[in-house]
């Protein structure tokens, strides 16, 4: 550069790409829209809504309650009370019937009244089964019969400040005599099982019959 002359920058022509970029209009950004999840529902929930009720949050609440109901705890176990008897007996034959319990849970007292057909069977006697004394604790057992009415009353309970028993087994053994031919029904007229606190336990009783030939 010759002495005495000031320096100046030579202008540079913009490139085609820079020129094109400068021609693009700038669009200002809008604030991001946030959707409220409470108003986002699927079609089945809206279809199940009550007429005139367009509140999707209500539908969502119904769905949540349904999930809570599905997770509810299962009900307490139910004891099964059966009569194990031979399907047939000969005339004048004596036979034994076992009153058994399955699925027992905390069983303390197990009184019951068993009905039978007094025109076909005679009650001979009864004894306690092993279930309530399976852990060696003392029990009380009493049996009485109303032969004309065709009923056997059994009072059976554990004794003292002890807990109940669990599991399955016989609670009573009853003996009958077949005195006439026919189908002799055997069933439960009354059942009241309780836990050590006196609370009634759920029991499902089953009936049976013996064919005297």
pLDDT band at 44 (very low <50, low <70, confident <90, very high): very low
Q: What is the mean pLDDT of residues 89-106?
A: 98
Question: Positive or negative CA dihedral for 70, 76, 81, 87?
Answer: positive
8 A C-beta contact, residue 88 and residue 174: no
Query: What is residue 16's three-state secondary structure?
Result: helix
Q: What is the mean pLDDT of residues 58-84?
A: 55
Lateral strand order in the sheet of 79-84: 121-128, 165-178, 94-107, 79-84, 203-205
**pTM score of the predicted model:** 0.65
Residues 138-196 pLDDT 10s: 999 999 999 899 999 999 999 999 999 999 999 999 999 999 999 999 999 999 999 99
Answer whether residue 54 shows pLDDT above 70: no
In the chain, what are the helix, strand and coil shares in percent, each to the nearest 5?
A: 15, 40, 45
Residue 69: exposure state from Cβ atoms within 10 A (0-12, 13-18, ≥19): exposed
Q: What is the mean pLDDT of residues 35-55?
A: 36
Residues paired with 209 in a beta bridge: 185
94-212: in CATH 3.50.50.60: no
């Amino acid at each position: 550069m010759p002495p005495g002359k000031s320096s100046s920058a030579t202008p540079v022509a913009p490139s085609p790409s820079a020129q094109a970029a400068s021609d693009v209009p700038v669009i200002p950004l809008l604030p991001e829209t946030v959707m409220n999840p409470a108003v986002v529902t699927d079609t089945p929930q809206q279809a199940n809504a009550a007429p005139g009720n367009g509140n999707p949050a209500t539908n969502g609440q119904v769905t949540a309650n349904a999930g809570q109901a599905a997770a509810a705890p299962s009900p307490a176990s139910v004891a099964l009370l059966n009569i194990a008897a031979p399907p047939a007996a000969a005339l004048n034959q004596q036979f034994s019937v076992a009153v058994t319990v399955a699925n027992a849970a905390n069983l303390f007292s197990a009184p019951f009244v068993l009905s039978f057909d007094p025109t076909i069977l005679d009650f001979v006697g009864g004894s306690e089964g092993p279930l309530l004394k399976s852990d060696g604790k003392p029990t009380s057992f009493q049996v009485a019969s109303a032969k004309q009415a065709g009923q056997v009353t059994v009072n059976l309970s554990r004794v003292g400040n002890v807990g109940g028993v669990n599991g399955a087994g016989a609670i009573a053994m009853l003996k009958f005599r077949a005195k006439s031919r026919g189908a002799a029904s055997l069933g439960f007229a009354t059942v009241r099982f309780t836990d050590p606190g006196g609370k009634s336990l759920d029991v499902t009783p089953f009936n049976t019959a013996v064919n005297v030939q």
